[in-house]
Amino acid sequence: MRLVIVIFCFALFGCFKAPRFNYQDSNNHYLLEIKESNNEGLIDTLYLLRDFDEKSTIREVGFYKNGFRNGRWNYNSEREVITIDWALYEDTLLHFRTSTFPKIDSIKRGENYTRMEFLVNKERINLTIKINRSTKGSMPATNYKELVDKELKNIGHTLVFFETDTFSNSKNAIYINRMKVRVRDGTYKYVKSCVAFLERDYLEFSVVTPRKEDFFADRLFDAVLTDLEYGGSKIYNPLSGSKLMRVY
């Protein structure tokens, strides 16, 4: 399967020598090569992401269309090449756009949130995106753990593990939180959330999965982190030269 992704990339890139950029998401530091083409007024961009330390190793490859992941992407894991299909999701109520899995199994909307559920390999992955337009000042970054712990206790759950990272050089202050939660029935949920302090508002999104190691949940989180557009701009630029730093 590794040969497949090499042939695929060679067929698309050929002998083209693309400029390379530092690319940082919530999990990985890559070297990005891009090649753009104009297709009937739409910008198609081929992304090829190489391992930063082993530059001959291709980790991800796929297309962006007008700034969002589009169609099938290939991911080179340690054991195999995994394919994931992506599509653009536009939320007309909360006015954001992002890349998600194309098949949404269920969706629930509230006044300031949208919650989507995806069934992937018989496991349910939940994505919630929440926009807070009037309470930015009441959302402190320093005691977010205590707020989460209190909220979980109020509904009968227990926070077992919590850690937070932030990006060193980002236009918006962004915090990445990883949590393990014991729910009331004794099972566990693994939560990865992002809190982004924007110019006027703050935005939260989270991905929840029943598995500690969930490749698809991780890819979904980073697709939303790097593609989520609100107020006409992306909340995070993976090419900004940012580095992840541990907060607590």
Q: What does the pLDDT look like over 145-198, one tens digit per residue? A: 888 899 899 999 999 999 999 998 788 999 999 999 999 999 999 999 999 988
Comparison of pLDDT for 172 and 38, the residue scoring more: 172
Task: Report whether pLDDT(2) > 90.
Answer: no
Instruction: State the SS3 of the chain.
Output: CHHHHHHHHHHHHCCCCCCEEEEECCCCEEEEEEEEEEECCEEEEEEEEEECCCCCCEEEEEEEECCEEEEEEEEECCCCEEEEEEEEEEECCCCEEEEECCCCCEEEECCCEEEEEEEECCEEEEEEEEEECCCHHHCCCCCHHHHHHHHHHHCCCEEEEEEEEEECCCCCEEEEEEEEEECCCCCEEEEEEEEEECCCCEEEEEEEECCCCCHHHHHHHHHHHHHCEECCEECCCCCCCCCEEECC
pLDDT at residue 170, rounded to an integer: 82
Expressed as residue numbers, the domain containing 213 is 2-246
What is the Cα 174 distance to its own chain's centre? Answer: 13
- Per-residue pLDDT of 54-108, as tens digits, reads 989 999 999 999 899 999 999 998 789 999 999 999 999 999 999 999 999 999 9
Question: Residue 50 is part of a domain; what is its CATH number?
Answer: 3.40.1000.10
Q: How many domains does the chain have?
A: 1
Residue 5 has pLDDT above 50, yes or no: no
For residues 26-48, give the mean pLDDT.
Answer: 83
Please give the Cα distance from 219 to 87 (Å, whole number): 13
* Segment of 3-17, 142-156, 157-171, 206-220 carrying the highest mean pLDDT: 206-220
CA 116/CA 189 separation, integer angstroms: 16
Q: Residue 16 pLDDT > 80, yes or no?
A: no
Q: Does residue 231 surpass a pLDDT of 60?
A: yes
pLDDT of 145 reads 85
Computed over every residue of the chain, the mean pLDDT equals 88
Rounded (5°) CA angle 102-5-48: 70
Q: What pTM, to 2 d.p., does this model score?
A: 0.89
